[in-house]
């Protein structure tokens, strides 16, 4: 544990005070105008005193990318002040502030996007629509270019707002993953077909974010990328596909890669090699070119020790920081931590997030 409680330095020279970060979790708690609410500011500040960095909930980069009610926005300059408040709240505890940026694609509910015009890589069924058989519309080439530019513009706003970095959200079946997946991408142009064409859009987003970083910030601005390793559908992403994507991303001037997993112990399912731990497999692919953040069901000290054995350079804590906001501080002090939610404690969790937890019994241990 000692090595993970000591400072970690990225390749760009930026130092985190330890190797634990707060994982991005949707709060559903923004103000009605999609600015960051006081509840969210308190929530982030509460968890900023122990971890080395806080990665925010995903922030949509263009009007038709909103995927959740109560999601805070970053798609126009009008939101820079709101973003600045979030960065300042995280900085109060000494953590680095990283803004996660994304587009919801077919997961965007029709009622949340302008004119109900939900878009994706292809004409595919919507994930969150209450309308039976409702489909998202395939983006045109011009619209793809507009979204790529929007990722860059939101990166510029993050820089102006004082964030220490951005994380490009290419996971959890949102738009970037919809382009990479053969299950959701049925295009026949330069953005679809072969795996090289399906990874074009995510790689162009990375290139644009890095271009904006070079123009408006310096090397100390962190750029990360989050990805999901596999999909269950027959035409969906396999771990062999992800190996190729990660191999490319590791050469794209990123400061870290962040795997999205429900449990760090999970094994490869659709993979031509040995069905071993996914994090171990991908670390071998990366081969030290860029740090990898491991995540998934890390609650106790023992969980963390087991997760360290995967070799991930950094570990993200998500649900455990809802349960125990001072997890890192208590681990460092040798104090007892709790690993199931005690509803009598004031853990500074926004009301809508608490309601979501209660509507999904078992998602957070102890919440029934």
- Position 255 scores a pLDDT of 98
> In Å, what is the CA distance from 14 to each residue of 219, 225, 293?
9, 17, 16
Q: Which residues are registered as beta bridge partners of 48?
A: none
Q: Is the pLDDT of residue 131 over 70?
A: no
Instruction: Output the 3-class SS for the chain.
Output: CHHHHCCEECCCCCEECCCEEECCCCCCCCCCCCCCCHHHHHHHHHCCCCCCEEECCCEECCHHHCCCCCCCECCCHHHHHHHHHHHHHHHCCCCEEEEEEECCHHHCCHHHCHHHCCEECCCCECCCCCCCCCECEECCHHHHHHHHHHHHHHHHHHHHCCCCEEEEEECCCCHHHHHHCCCCCCCCCCCCCCHHHHCHHHHHHHHHHHHHHHHHCCCCCEEEEEECCCCCCCCCCCHHHHHHHHHHHCCCCCCEEEECCCCCCCECCCCCCCCCEHHHHHHHHHCCCCCEEEECCCCCHHHHHHHHCCCCCEEEECHHHHHCCCHHHHHHHCCCCCCCCCCCCCCCCCHHHHHHHHHCCCCCCCCC
CA 339 – CA 268 distance, rounded (Å): 27
pLDDT grade, residue 134 (50/70/90)?
confident
Q: Count Cβ neighbours within 10 Å for each residue of 30-51 and write b for 16 or more, e otherwise.
A: beeebbbbebbbebbbbbbebb
Catalytic residue among 43, 44, 102, 174: 174
CA 105 – CA 127 distance, rounded (Å): 9
- Position 129 scores a pLDDT of 46
The string of pLDDT tens digits covering residues 105-130 is 999 999 999 999 999 999 988 765 44
pTM over 0.95: yes
Say which CATH class 2-359 falls into: alpha beta
Q: Is the pLDDT of residue 53 over 50?
A: yes
174 catalytically annotated: yes
The string of pLDDT tens digits covering residues 250-282 is 999 999 999 999 999 999 999 999 999 999 999
Among all chains, which residue has been given the structure tokens 């987003």? Answer: 205
């Amino acid at each position: 544990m000692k090595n993970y409680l000591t400072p970690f330095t990225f390749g760009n020279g930026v130092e985190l005070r330890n190797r634990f970060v707060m994982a991005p979790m949707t709060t559903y708690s923004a103000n009605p105008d999609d600015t960051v609410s006081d509840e969210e500011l308190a929530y982030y500040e509460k968890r900023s005193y122990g971890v080395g960095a806080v990665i925010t909930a995903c922030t949509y980069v263009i009007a038709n990318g909103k995927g959740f009610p109560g999601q805070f926005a970053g798609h126009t300059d009008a939101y820079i002040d709101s973003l600045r408040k979030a960065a300042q709240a995280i900085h109060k505890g000494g953590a680095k502030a990283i803004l996660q940026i994304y587009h919801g694609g077919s997961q965007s509910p029709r009622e949340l996007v302008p004119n109900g015009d939900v878009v994706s890589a292809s004409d595919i069924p919507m994930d969150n629509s209450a309308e039976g058989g409702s489909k998202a519309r395939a983006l045109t080439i011009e619209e793809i270019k507009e979204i790529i530019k929007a990722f860059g513009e939101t990166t510029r706003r993050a820089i102006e707002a004082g964030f220490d970095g951005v994380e490009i959200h290419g996971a959890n079946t949102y738009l970037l993953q919809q382009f990479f997946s053969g299950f959701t991408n049925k295009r026949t142009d330069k953005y679809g077909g072969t795996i090289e064409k399906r990874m074009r859009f995510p790689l162009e987003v990375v290139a644009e974010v890095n271009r904006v970083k070079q123009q408006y910030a310096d090397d100390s601005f962190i750029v990360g990328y989050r990805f999901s390793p596999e999909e269950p559908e027959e035409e969906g992403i396999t771990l062999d596909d992800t190996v190729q994507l990660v191999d490319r991303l590791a050469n794209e001037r990123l400061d870290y890669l962040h795997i999205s997993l429900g449990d760090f112990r999970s094994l490869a399912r659709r993979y031509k090699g040995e069905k071993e731990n996914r994090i171990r497999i991908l670390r071998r692919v990366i081969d030290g070119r860029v740090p990898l953040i491991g995540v998934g069901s890390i609650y106790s000290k023992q969980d963390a020790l087991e997760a360290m054995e995967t070799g991930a350079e950094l570990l993200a804590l998500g649900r455990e920081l809802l349960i125990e906001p001072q997890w890192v501080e208590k681990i460092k002090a040798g104090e007892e931590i709790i690993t199931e939610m005690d509803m009598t404690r004031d853990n500074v969790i926004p009301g809508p997030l608490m309601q979501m937890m209660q509507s999904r019994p078992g998602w957070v241990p102890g919440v029934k």
